[in-house]
A and B are shown apart, each in its own frame.
Chain A
């Protein structure tokens, strides 16, 4: 049996124990396993499905666990056009999600209405009624773009101080 000598203790502590706050540890864990809501609205949902398939493999980044219930998710990917009839449902799903929760607007429809801006039945973007964290442009965005968006969100979740600083500086 190995016996740890008195003079080795400090070295072992330095190499094996990371000192941090509980909150930072939580944030790190959260950022590495964002569970998205299985929530497709329109065309972008097909690309969202493609992101989870074998070629793009979202599982590499810990986000492949698509959950149909909002209560088990922490990331809402708005994938598609939000119509006026759908808006209350989207709002309600967001409210049902447990905090902390994040919103990713995927595609030009979810950002600003996209090609349907002048339609009579389309809401002009998710940020008109939800706090959107990350915008992924495209019509539809490629799966690589969605993965990049999720990685950006990961940075945001893991480093809240950095984001606050960026916001303060404009």
Chain B
């Protein structure tokens, strides 16, 4: 007599496809998932608590360790919040804003590059992984030129950026931007056009528009589900209102669409950088800010469009040199919330791909 038995399986915390130390307990019937439960906290480093014992300036480098594949954008989000708290948003020199846009969009390309690469690896397409990392390394070269570090840049400052663009940066950037479209075309050829990849992703783990909104999706994941939203366009911060770019939106919300949206976004980022290169003015890169940062008593919430979605910082100041409380609204944490719902009824191997398509970074989920 044959009988079936439900199997409880631990996915993670040490599993190459959980993109870090995420753990999920799966109930399996055969190879189909009947129930999934998220377990977080394996990388909880207490960053929010640490912020309370650091001065405002000392906390800038910690932002790179939050979402470690998009450090520049995290720093920008934090710096923007503190600037708003200090009331110096208007005083930031134009050149600094343009530099921020250029490095921010470069970081977005790098982040989506790593997304593409790890996505490919999760469907066992190792060669596409190498392509993604090849181009990401070139982008990181440029970020290293301006900041001196590959991942943790510590480049943003309250009132501007740490240093002006180095000599020869623009030439190198121009060369890279000429190369990138061909590279993206290569991505499309090697992965998106691949029969196996399509079979594994098209129609898999669809997230409807309503479901995406209910779960509080933001960023590319929400755009893949058919909601036309982008903070860069809808609530333009910095100098984003001066650039023309499209917001890629897809309707199905399946794994495939989530990949496509990001590939399209890389193309838009190239467009934005091109426009910023043309429009960048001469001038200083730092506003006049006091040496000791002491924002007035009050609180502020400020957010921007990170590579993963809305990254928000809520800072409460008691007038001293350290934040009284700092809270990070993390897009990855919100996005991971849908995984149990998404995984229900999925084949185990498809669940791994669906998880990869959400683009999670555990540093930001657990903080």
Contacts and interface: CB of A to CB of B under 8 A. Distances in A.
Interface of A: 38-43, 45-47, 49-50, 53-55, 68, 80-81, 83, 85-86, 89, 93, 115-116, 118-122, 139-140, 142
19 contacts: A41-B20, A41-B43, A42-B43, A42-B65, A42-B362, A43-B68, A43-B152, A50-B136, A53-B134, A55-B133, A55-B134, A68-B15, A81-B45, A83-B41, A83-B44, A85-B42, A115-B62, A120-B46, A121-B45
Contacts of A120: 46, 49
B277 interface: no
B53 to A, nearest CB: 7
Contacts of B14: 39, 89, 93
B61 interface: yes
Return the 9 tightest CB-CB contacts between A and B, nearest first: A43-B68, A53-B133, A119-B46, A38-B16, A86-B42, A68-B16, A116-B45, A55-B137, A121-B46
A24 to B, nearest CB: 34
Given A41-B43, A81-B45, A115 B68 contact: no
Interface in B97-129: 114, 129
B42 A89 contact: yes
B215 interface: no
B340 interface: no
Nearest to A52: B133
B151 A85 contact: no
B363 A119 contact: no
Q: Chain A: interface secondary structure? A: loop
A47 B133 contact: no
B134 A43 contact: no
Contact of A119 (B13, B15, B49, B130): B49
A43 B136 CA distance: 16
B10 to A, nearest CB: 10
Contacts of B152: 43, 139-140
A115 B154 CA distance: 14
Contacts of B62: 115
A83 to B, nearest CB: 6
A69 B70 CA distance: 29
B21 interface: yes
A47 B133 CA distance: 11
A155 B64 CA distance: 34
Contacts of B16: 38, 68
Nearest to A41: B21
Interface string B9-28: 00001111000110000000
B299 to A, nearest CB: 24
Contact of B50 (A41, A86, A119): A119
A113 B47 CA distance: 13
Q: Which of B15, B43, B136, B362 has the most CB of A within 10 A?
A: B43
B69 interface: yes
B65 A86 contact: no
A116 B20 contact: no
B198 interface: no
Contact of A42 (B20, B134, B150): B20
Given A68-B15, A83-B44, A120-B46, A43 B65 contact: yes
A54 B133 contact: yes
A83 B20 CA distance: 13
B137 to A, nearest CB: 5
Interface in B332-366: 362-363
Q: Which of B61, B65, B137 has the most CB of A within 10 A?
A: B65
A26 B46 CA distance: 45
A123 to B, nearest CB: 11
Q: Which of A39, A45, A86 has the most CB of B within 10 A?
A: A86
A45 B362 CA distance: 11
Q: Which of A42, A80, A120 has the most CB of B within 10 A?
A: A42
B137 A53 contact: yes
Given A81-B45, A119-B45, A121-B45, A53 B65 contact: no
B130 to A, nearest CB: 5
Contact of A49 (B45, B50, B133): B133
Contacts of A40: 20-21
Given A46-B68, A83-B42, A116-B50, A142 B150 contact: yes
Contact of B20 (A45, A89, A115, A119): A45
A45 B136 CA distance: 15
A83 B50 contact: no
A77 to B, nearest CB: 13
Contacts of B134: 53-55
Contacts of B43: 41-42, 80-81, 83, 86
